[in-house]
Amino acid sequence: MKKIEDIFNFTEISDSCIKCGKCIPVCTIHNINRDEVTSPRGFIELLGEYKEGKLELDRGAKDIFESCFLCTNCVDICPNSLPTDMVIEEVRADIADRFGIAWFKRLFFTLLRHRKLMDIMMKFGYTFKSCGFKEDTQRGGIIPRFPMPIIKSDRLLPSLSKVSFLNRYPEEIDNGGKRRVAIFIGCLANYNYTTIGDSLIEISKKLNINLFIPKKQMCCSAPAYFTGDFYTVEKLSKQNIEYFESFIDEVEAIIIPEATCSAMIKHDWEIFFRNRGMEDWANRAKKLSRKIFMATEWFEKFTNLKEILAQGGVKFQDRVTYHDACHAKKVQGVYREPRELLSQNYNIVEMSDSNRCCGFGGVTMQSEKYHLAELAGIPKAKMIEESGAEVVSAECSACRVQISNSLYQSNIDVVFKNPIELIADALKGSR
């Protein structure tokens, strides 16, 4: 595998930073830790020093590079589009090589690579969850009954479903139509927020679109990518690419109700392989990407769902505020489509900064650096409350984990729903 210095020219990136500081006010970590070293400009400076051998990749440097939320706000605003997030992702692989990956993350990534084992673990978790957690049905989550080794604080976590989405439905669902699409569900919607998949099926039924639910789909590998476990990224993405190629010509699209999974499959797989000189795999990922869509994007652009919602959907009085997940708006340009669909049946009220990162940040941020995720979540919870909405929505279950917990921590009574769930509610007229 290529080394990081072969992939990115640090000196060139460092020299291209004109130190304009435009990235500073939008940087998620800098907003909660106002220190130049934890800012995009600071990260780039340190990366330049690392390349020149002036900075050792010690525990201090590890701590700094692991504090980035990978929200891409800096890339979006930078006049030179410097790929700060991608360089940090690559450095994290060097960090993982040097320091290893914590046991619980290795265990998690092993489970991601073995679907059957994950199924068993999740079933086990479901059976015994009441021993360690109490259910919060109102917010749709579980709360630890006592402090746990990795989950130290009193926090709201996603609940577990009795049967995963992929084990609940047949591989083919014939809705009597001529069109056929595949569903990539994502791990959180597969095991935790399974009503998202149920809703996708209800919407497709209404549209007479036949469904293919590929049973051998694996995790998109985003959790491993953001943590620097590139062995897992390579294994999962190659396995998925080979599998997707086996049916891609028989479906119109692969629709994904999850921003992070969709961004990983549509964009990051290609970049990952391209950066390592694996051109054949990069080209195969690129070819597939033409048929990858976020679910709301595909429904809005390629079906008459909007008209059906306008004519036959129930008009709810609920105010819904829409959060723009970083991997939806900034990475894939998807922000108009969910609003177009939702506004047919709900009152959309915009929060003051829908683009501000919720602070999820990945596995490390949700475990060892949870204190940072907690701090980053408070302003988002506050702006949701100030919007006056009863419901907050985003097409991303990672945002759902983080925002639901931030609302819980701030004692704010707003419910989180994926837009796909809200749309299905409007079609059937009940919640």
21 torsion bin: left (phi>0), alpha (psi -120 to 50), beta (else): left
**Binder to ligand SF4 among 4, 7, 44, 101 (CB under 6 A)?**
44
CA distance 99 to 59: 9
- The yes or no reply on residue 22 touching ligand SF4 (CB under 6 A) is yes
Q: Are strands 292-294 and 254-256 parallel, antiparallel or unpaired?
A: parallel
* Window 187 to 216, contacts with ligand SF4 (CB under 6 A): none
**Binder to ligand SF4 among 7, 14, 32, 41 (CB under 6 A)?**
41
- The yes or no reply on residue 50 touching ligand SF4 (CB under 6 A) is no
- The yes or no reply on residue 220 touching ligand SF4 (CB under 6 A) is no
Q: Are strands 319-322 and 347-348 parallel, antiparallel or unpaired?
A: parallel
- The yes or no reply on residue 10 touching ligand SF4 (CB under 6 A) is no
CA distance 350 to 319: 10
- The yes or no reply on residue 392 touching ligand SF4 (CB under 6 A) is no
3-state secondary structure of 210: strand
Find the shortest distance in angstroms from Cβ 313 to ligand SF4.
Answer: 37
- The yes or no reply on residue 25 touching ligand SF4 (CB under 6 A) is no
Angle at CA of residue 374, ends 358 and 410, nearest 5°: 90
**Binder to ligand SF4 among 1, 2, 6, 18 (CB under 6 A)?**
18
- The yes or no reply on residue 73 touching ligand SF4 (CB under 6 A) is yes
Given the complex with ligand SF4, which of 330 and 339 has the nearer CB atom? 330
Q: Residue 87: which of 55, 54, 45 has the closest Cα? A: 45
Query: Do 395 and 364 meet the contact criterion of CB atoms below 8 Å apart?
Result: no
3-state secondary structure of 273: helix
Tell me which stretch binds ligand SF4 (CB under 6 A): 79-87, 156-164, 182-190, 228-236.
79-87
Given the complex with ligand SF4, which of 84 and 190 has the nearer CB atom? 84
Q: Residue 62: which of 43, 79, 45 has the closest Cα? A: 43
Name residue 188's amino acid: L
60 by Cβ neighbours in 10 Å (0-12 / 13-18 / 19+) ranks as exposed
Token readout for 181 is: 């699409």
Residue 182's DSSP bridge partners are 212, 254
Token readout for 403 is: 């925002």
Q: How many residues bind ligand SF4 (CB under 6 A)?
A: 29
Tell me which stretch binds ligand SF4 (CB under 6 A): 72-80, 142-150, 286-294, 390-398.
72-80
CA distance 305 to 298: 10
CA distance 134 to 137: 9
Tell me which stretch binds ligand SF4 (CB under 6 A): 24-32, 108-116, 198-206, 412-420.
24-32
- The yes or no reply on residue 43 touching ligand SF4 (CB under 6 A) is yes
Given the complex with ligand SF4, which of 338 and 361 has the nearer CB atom? 361
Find the shortest distance in angstroms from Cβ 3 to ligand SF4.
Answer: 22
- The yes or no reply on residue 72 touching ligand SF4 (CB under 6 A) is yes
- The yes or no reply on residue 20 touching ligand SF4 (CB under 6 A) is yes
CA distance 257 to 297: 9
Question: Mask 82-121, x = binds ligand SF4 (CB under 6 A)?
Answer: x-xx------------------------------------
Token readout for 392 is: 């907050």
CA distance 76 to 371: 26
**Binder to ligand SF4 among 46, 78, 160, 396 (CB under 6 A)?**
78
Tell me which stretch binds ligand SF4 (CB under 6 A): 67-75, 115-123, 143-151, 389-397.
67-75
- The yes or no reply on residue 68 touching ligand SF4 (CB under 6 A) is yes
- The yes or no reply on residue 29 touching ligand SF4 (CB under 6 A) is yes
Q: Residue 240: which of 214, 260, 263, 259 has the closest Cα? A: 214
Report the 10 Å Cβ neighbour count for 102.
Answer: 16
- The yes or no reply on residue 64 touching ligand SF4 (CB under 6 A) is no
Find the shortest distance in angstroms from Cβ 318 to ligand SF4.
Answer: 31
Query: Do 22 and 78 meet the contact criterion of CB atoms below 8 Å apart?
Result: yes
Find the shortest distance in angstroms from Cβ 362 to ligand SF4.
Answer: 11
Given the complex with ligand SF4, which of 40 and 419 has the nearer CB atom? 40
Given the complex with ligand SF4, which of 78 and 211 has the nearer CB atom? 78
- List of residues contacting ligand SF4 (CB under 6 A): 17-23, 26-29, 40-41, 43-44, 68-74, 77-80, 82, 84-85
